[in-house]
């Protein structure tokens, strides 16, 4: 009996020990699970390092490509490029620091994704702008009248100097950058710019001085009775010079004013309409109120769309001074375009404007010269003083080289008016920055 009691106690003690052992084992398991859960929580971001590495690599690649494309544009000033690089560096560093914290880890990843997407969109935009710029035609026109016109894709002429042995209009000019230059603006009476000749209804010489920030627009009436070089000095209307090519118009105006024109810009009706619309419209201050083709223009400021601007520059019969006032209106529109093009607001529609210009503009300016002008405007943000002038004359009926024996209406030049215009052009071109400073100093006194 005693033996049975002792054995029963031993069994109870063993059972208690086994229970304690089971409890300890369960506790150890629980502790291990608890201990194991903490590292799992901490190492969760570590498990996703590979996607983050790919994302960061994409962001770095997109940043480098974007900066490279911006530099290749040659129009963004250096200080803006530095700002872009600093900004992109900060956008790269921000997600890195956010992802160090478990609390902001997801926010950092989202920030990185958004930055990468924006960079890719920026790359597409800059690439598109570069492509549109490359589509502008660089045209080299032989000085020998009647010779073949050579047209070269703009991209092929990038950063390439025009060879001196080629007999073209570039031979007689100093390649930009230069302090001052003359630009012949030719507006042809057509919607098709592919035509290499056509009557030039708009004949404006823009004298540009980049140091004094002055632009003088001098307009010559389309009916001006002038000597054509192609005809050995025979008389004809200025507008008819365009029939024989833009170079004939240039040489005719050079002879009239005894000047040397550096560049030309040739535009058509479609260019004007599309450009004004791409700019979001222009503000023109009309000197008279008149109606034309369903549009009404008030005396004073008018907000014009592309179609309205075209009607504004073409109408003459509804104006008391006829063609003389039409010339004034043409210069008013060009002035408004320059004012809008040199304003900060232009950046909003820059892509659409470049697209319009690339399809409808012909010029002999090189890509480097255009880029230098854009870069200067973006960097210095100068305020331009724009003046307008037109030469005068007296109407008459005369025979012309192009019209044969038929008498046509022409305008006999007023030589005093021509001489005055020549002096004004020379003043703007030769005026130095020192002269402007002296003028300002005199005014202050």
The pLDDT tens digits along the chain (445 residues) read: 545 555 555 555 555 555 555 555 555 545 545 444 444 444 444 445 677 788 888 888 988 988 888 887 766 777 778 888 898 888 888 887 887 777 888 888 888 889 889 999 888 888 877 766 665 544 443 333 333 334 433 334 333 333 333 334 434 443 444 789 999 999 987 766 565 667 899 999 999 999 999 999 999 999 999 999 898 899 999 999 999 999 999 999 999 999 999 999 998 888 899 999 989 999 999 999 999 999 999 999 999 999 999 999 999 999 988 888 999 999 999 999 999 988 877 766 777 787 777 777 888 988 778 877 877 777 777 789 999 999 999 999 999 999 999 999 999 999 999 999 999 999 999 987 655 555 444 434 4
The set of residues, in sequence order, having a beta carbon less than 8 Å from that of 66 and lying 6+ positions away, is: 88, 119, 122, 123, 126
CA 127 – CA 133 distance, rounded (Å): 10
Tell me, what's the pLDDT at 68? 86
Q: Confirm or reject CATH 3.40.50.2300 for domain 157-444, answering yes or no.
A: no
Q: Is 21 helix (H, G, I), strand (E, B) or coil?
A: helix
Using alpha carbons only, how large is the chain's radius of gyration in Å? 37
What is the distance between the alpha carbons of residues 44 and 50, in angstroms, rounded to a whole number? 12
The HSE-up count of residue 438 (CA atoms within 13 Å, CB side) is 5
Sign for the CA dihedral angle at 99, 101, 106, 111 comes to negative
Instruction: Using the CB atoms, write b or e for 391-426: b if 16+ within 10 Å.
Output: bebeeeeeebbbeeeeebebbebeeeebeebbeebe
147: alpha, beta or left? (left if phi > 0; alpha if psi -120 to 50): beta
Tokens of 401: 């080289």
What is the Cβ-side half-sphere exposure of residue 24, based on CA atoms within 13 angstroms?
Answer: 6
- In angstroms, the CA 136 to CA 344 distance is 23
Element holding 284 (H helix, E strand): strand 282-286
Phi, psi dihedral angles at 165 (to 5 degrees): -75, -15
Cβ atoms of residues 181 and 173 within 8 Å: yes
Q: At 138, is the secondary structure helix, strand, or coil?
A: strand
Output DSSP code: residue 160: -
User: Shortest CA distance to 207 belongs to which of 219, 197, 215?
Assistant: 215
- Residue 26, CA distances (Å) to 21, 29, 40, 249 in order: 9, 5, 21, 102
Other CB atoms within a 10 A radius of the CB of residue 91 amount to 18
Nearest in space to 203 (alpha carbons), one of 148, 236, 240, 174: 240
Name the pairing type of β-strands 150-153 and 137-140.
antiparallel
- DSSP-assigned letters across all residues of 220-274: --TTBEEE-TTTTT-EEEHHHHGGG-HHHHHHHHHHHHT----EEEEE-HHHHHH
- Domain residue extents for the chain: 2-134, 157-444
What are the structure tokens assigned to 305, written together?
């769309």
Cα 224–Cα 228–Cα 231 angle in degrees, nearest 5: 140
- The owner of tokens 């405007």 is 377
Torsion of CA 286, 289, 292, 295, to 10 degrees: 80
Check residue 405 and give its pLDDT.
Answer: 92
């Amino acid at each position: 009996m005693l033996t049975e009691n002792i054995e029963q106690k031993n069994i109870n003690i063993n059972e208690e020990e086994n229970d304690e052992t089971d409890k300890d084992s369960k506790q150890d398991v629980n502790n291990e699970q608890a201990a194991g859960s903490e590292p799992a929580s901490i190492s969760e971001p570590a498990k996703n390092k590979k996607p983050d590495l790919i994302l960061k690599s994409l962001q770095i690649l997109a940043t480098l490509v974007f900066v490279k494309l911006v530099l290749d544009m040659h129009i963004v000033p250096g200080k803006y490029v530095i700002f872009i690089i600093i900004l992109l560096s900060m956008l790269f560093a921000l997600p890195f620091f956010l992802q160090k914290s478990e609390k902001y880890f997801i926010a950092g990843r989202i920030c990185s994704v958004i930055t990468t997407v924006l960079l890719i969109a920026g790359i597409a935009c800059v690439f598109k702008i570069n492509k549109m710029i490359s589509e502008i035609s660089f045209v080299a026109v032989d000085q020998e009248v009647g010779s073949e016109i050579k047209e070269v894709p703009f991209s092929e002429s990038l950063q390439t100097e025009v060879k001196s042995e080629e007999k073209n209009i570039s031979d007689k000019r100093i390649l930009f950058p230069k302090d001052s230059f003359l630009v012949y603006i030719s507006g042809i009476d057509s919607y098709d710019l592919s035509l290499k000749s056509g009557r030039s209804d708009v004949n404006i010489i823009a004298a540009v001085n980049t140091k004094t920030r002055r632009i003088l627009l001098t307009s010559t009436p389309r009916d001006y009775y002038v000597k054509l070089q192609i005809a050995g000095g025979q008389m004809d209307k200025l507008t008819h010079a365009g029939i024989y090519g833009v170079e004939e118009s240039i040489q005719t105006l050079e002879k009239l004013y005894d000047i040397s024109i550096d560049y030309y810009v040739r535009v058509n009706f479609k260019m004007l309409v599309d450009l004004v619309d791409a700019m979001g419209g222009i503000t023109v201050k009309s000197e008279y109120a008149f109606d034309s083709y369903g549009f009404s223009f008030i005396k004073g400021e008018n907000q014009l769309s592309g179609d309205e601007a075209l009607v504004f520059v073409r109408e003459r019969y509804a104006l008391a001074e006829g063609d003389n006032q039409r010339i004034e209106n043409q210069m008013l529109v060009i002035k408004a375009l320059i004012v809008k093009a040199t304003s900060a607001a232009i950046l909003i529609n820059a892509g659409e404007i470049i697209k319009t210009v690339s399809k409808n503009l012909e010029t002999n300016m090189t890509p480097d010269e255009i880029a230098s002008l854009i870069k200067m405007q973006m960097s210095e943000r100068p305020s331009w003083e724009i003046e307008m002038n037109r030469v005068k004359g007296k109407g008459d009926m005369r025979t012309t080289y192009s019209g044969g024996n038929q008498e046509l209406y022409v305008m006999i030049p007023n030589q005093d008016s021509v001489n005055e215009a020549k002096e004004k052009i020379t003043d703007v071109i030769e005026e130095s920055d020192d002269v402007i400073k002296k003028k300002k100093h005199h005014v202050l006194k």
